[in-house]
Copies of this chain bind each other. A is one copy, B any other.
Amino acid sequence: MTDATPDLAARIADLEDRAAIADAIHAYCWHFDRNEPDALADLFADGARVDYGPDVPEIRGRAAIRAAVARGLAEIFAATSHHVSNIRIAREGPDAARSTCLLYAWHRYRGGAPDGELWAQYHHRFVRIDGAWKIAELRLAAAGTKDFHRARMHPIGRA
């Protein structure tokens, strides 16, 4: 055995970790679009925080996240489609990472309002708990919206 092998193992593990983090982001979208709030909430760490915008109080804790998402899915949306891309991940240690990605989301409303579109960014903080990458923070910032149900969004910080 050479010194190189542990390095290779660490580099492979890093690639696998990044894939697992991306998969957690994809799982969030999947469960949101399929109206599966229990499975969605399970992607978050216990004390996770979600900030969907300036007109929504910050949501704290997995149970509160589950309840807030379930309410929105039941009362506001008839259908949604959350397309994420441009995922960038920055490790912050063996069991911590931050990521940004772009979100293009389409929403059909229960109330019959015109379909809403959202061009946005997700800002995530992840922690690894018992081997699984969990969302510790989720913050939504928007470049723009069309017929969206929220008038104000966090800006993306365009100069």
Contact = CB atoms under 8 A, between A and B. Distances in A.
A106 to B, nearest CB: 5
A146 interface: yes
A83 B106 contact: no
Each complex incorporates copies of this chain amounting to: 3
Interface string A38-76: 000000000000000000000000000000000000000
- The number of chain A residues touching the other chain, given as a range, is 35 or more
Interface string A73-85: 0000001111111
Contacts of A151: none
A157 interface: yes
A113 interface: no
Contact of A15 (B9, B19, B104): B19
A65 B33 CA distance: 29
Interface of A: 1-2, 4-5, 8-9, 11-12, 15-16, 18-19, 23, 26-27, 29-30, 33-36, 79-88, 100, 102, 104, 106, 108, 115, 119-120, 143-144, 146, 156-159
The 8 A-B residue pairs with the shortest CB-CB distance, nearest first, are: A81-B119, A81-B143, A35-B159, A26-B86, A1-B2, A85-B85, A106-B119, A35-B158
